[in-house]
């Protein structure tokens, strides 16, 4: 008799929240290697930048990881100062900041993220020569020093979603 009562009561207990629209959404498991993928995409090397950029271009393939791809690019500074295209460097820097903040390990990774940002901008500068390269390197150094000094430890402000 007990078994017969349990089954109808279980069915009622499950049906009532559904009928009221109170059913909790099932927890979505994030792949266990998310910290490793995040680390791989936020190193100072060109290969790390290229892997991140390829993934950014195909975000849907990485949707299970629930990365925050949003960016405000270079925040309140020009994204392409004097025509030097730092926009993607800033986007990857935002990616690192936002995702390490969400993971609760921002402080431990901030210096590397800032160094990767500087390396990305210096790679942009290698496409120039002479005084133009010198100016680009100087701007890269200035942007780097700004994030070292003023990079936020608090959650980032709302930003525009990144283009897929």
Query: How far is C-alpha 22 from the chain's CA centre?
Result: 32
Catalytic site residue from 93, 98, 101, 118 = 93
pLDDT (tens digit, 9 = 90+) per residue, 114-140? 999 999 999 999 999 999 999 999 999
Please state the pTM of the whole predicted model. Answer: 0.78
Domains of the chain from N-terminus onward: 32-150 (1.20.90.10)
Q: Which residues pair with 71 in a beta bridge?
A: 160
Which two structure tokens, joined as six digits, stand for 27?
């927890």
Query: Considering all CA atoms of the chain, what is the largest pairwise distance in Å, rounded to the nearest integer?
Result: 90
- Is 118 one of the catalytic residues? no
Per-residue pLDDT band at 27 (split at 50, 70, 90): low
The DSSP-derived string for 54-118 is HHHTTGGGGGGG-----B-TTTTS-SSGGG---HHHHHHHHHHHHHHHHHT-HHHHHHHHHHHHH
Residue with the bigger pLDDT between 118 and 1: it is 118
Residue showing tokens 């990365």? 67
pLDDT score of 23 more than 90? no
pLDDT (tens digit, 9 = 90+) per residue, 71-93? 999 998 998 999 999 999 999 99
Structure confidence at residue 13 (pLDDT):
44
Residues 6+ apart with CB under 8 A from 163: none
């Amino acid at each position: 008799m007990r078994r017969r009562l349990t089954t109808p009561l279980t069915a009622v207990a499950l049906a009532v929240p559904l009928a009221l629209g109170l059913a909790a959404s099932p927890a979505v498991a994030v792949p266990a290697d998310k910290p490793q993928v995040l680390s791989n995409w936020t190193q100072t090397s060109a290969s790390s930048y290229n892997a991140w950029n390829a993934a950014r271009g195909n975000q849907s393939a990485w949707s299970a990881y629930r990365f925050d791809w949003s960016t405000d690019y270079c925040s309140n500074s020009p994204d392409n100062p004097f025509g030097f295209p730092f926009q993607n460097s800033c986007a990857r820097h935002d990616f690192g900041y936002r995702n390490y903040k969400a993971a609760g390990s921002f402080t431990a990774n901030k210096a590397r993220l800032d160094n990767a940002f500087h390396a990305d901008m210096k790679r942009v500068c290698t496409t120039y020569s002479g005084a133009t390269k010198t100016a680009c390197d100087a701007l890269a150094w200035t942007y780097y020093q700004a994030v070292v000094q003023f990079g936020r430890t608090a959650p980032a402000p709302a930003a525009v979603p990144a283009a897929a």
